[in-house]
Amino acid sequence: MMTREEKILSAIDPATQLGLEIGPLNRPIVTCQMGKIRYVDHASTEELKQKYAEDSNVDIDQIVKVDYVWGEKQLPQLAGDEAPFDYVVASHVIEHVPDLIGWLKEIHAVLKPGGILTLAIPDKRYCFDYFRQPTEPAQVVEAYLQGNRKPTPRQIFEHLSQVAFWQGQLGWSHEVEASELTRLYTDRQAWEVAYQASIDNQYHDVHCWVFTPRTFFQLLRTLIDINLVDFKVAEYYDTTGLEFYISLEAMDLTKHPDDRKAIQLESLPTIDRDRPQIAPLEPQSILEDERVQSLLVELESEREMSKLAHLRIGEHQETIQRLRKRVKNLKIKLEDSENQIKAMKTSKFWKLRSQWLKLKQLLGLNETGSNAR
């Protein structure tokens, strides 16, 4: 049985090729010792170290040196003369990108013709996306037309409102019943985060898209058919643990479009139904590999748990900032009111009014000006 690393690297050769890995954090698939590699992430190395400083699941001393910070700028702009690359590696990244089509196009632009994009993708049936509906073509087409660079309030709400645990874990490697799962957020909490994101335009790291192997290839078929994807399938490995593996090969755009499309469509595997995972009854060596896969599931679960924890911390920080701003505004209003009262007390009108009130008391007049009885 192939290991996880063997599946991810099956279509590439890090020792002889120039590669790019997206989102490696502290656990890169391809290390600098394995070959010439560049790393890209959504933040700089120092920013990532600050972000994960209190996270026990991330050894910040092992966070890789980030070569390109991918956010507002497009990948071809960042890579510059270092492109084109022989391959790109992205483990548990594609589901996070706000614009899936645009993301694939930017990667294609920095790959050589025939270059490889290798993906490890979570299977929604075996992770916290369990309750979500698979991504539809219309959703990714809309995101592409809008040019989204950050998750939308809809994507944020959908993610948070459906996040589910199984026995305290965010990932598992076998079939579970819906009744065994527990939601992390209420709809109200998800709404508050999504609403705030629509106001302050902050970036929230969520799963924008969810897949099974079958629905991923169905989506790919549609996007190929409408000429929005310039890759064909080079390798595919079915779900193991909580993820499946796909290597996509960059098409040569000098080929005739009809010829390209025919090659792309022919490369798609036919999956009538997603295969369920059951507990294995295998020889000891395979069982040991299954234990490794189980550990990898736990590690990925911890990583996703960490992301959710940081998201919740961010929510609390935003609430604190809003309260501090409100207190500041109240202090300003209070100071203004005190200044107005002070000004009134020093005014000629106030002094005359004070003398009039004293005179009323001496004369025994009531509030209506009549004699007191």
The per-residue pLDDT for 329 is: 80
Instruction: Write the pLDDT tens digit of every residue in 143-194.
Output: 999 999 999 999 999 999 999 999 888 888 889 999 999 999 999 999 999 9
In this structure, what token pair is assigned to residue 193?
């985060």
> Which residue ranges in the chain fall short of pLDDT 50?
279-292, 368-373
Would you say 206 and 96 are in contact if contact means Cβ atoms under 8 Å apart?
yes
The per-residue pLDDT for 350 is: 59
DSSP-derived letter for residue 82 is G
250: enclosing H helix or E strand: strand 243-250
In this prediction the pTM is 0.75
The per-residue pLDDT for 276 is: 83
CATH superfamily label, 4-323: Vaccinia Virus protein VP39 (3.40.50.150)
Nearest to 122, CA basis, from 216, 221, 211:
211
Nearest to 238, CA basis, from 216, 260, 218:
216
Would you say 217 and 135 are in contact if contact means Cβ atoms under 8 Å apart?
no
Q: Could you give the 3-state DSSP secondary structure of residue 351?
A: helix
The per-residue pLDDT for 290 is: 47
Nearest to 29, CA basis, from 302, 308, 300, 311:
300
Domain positions in the chain: 4-323, 334-363
Instruction: Write the pLDDT tens digit of every residue in 270-321.
Output: 888 888 876 444 444 444 444 445 555 555 555 666 666 666 666 666 677 7
Residue located via tokens 């990925």: 300
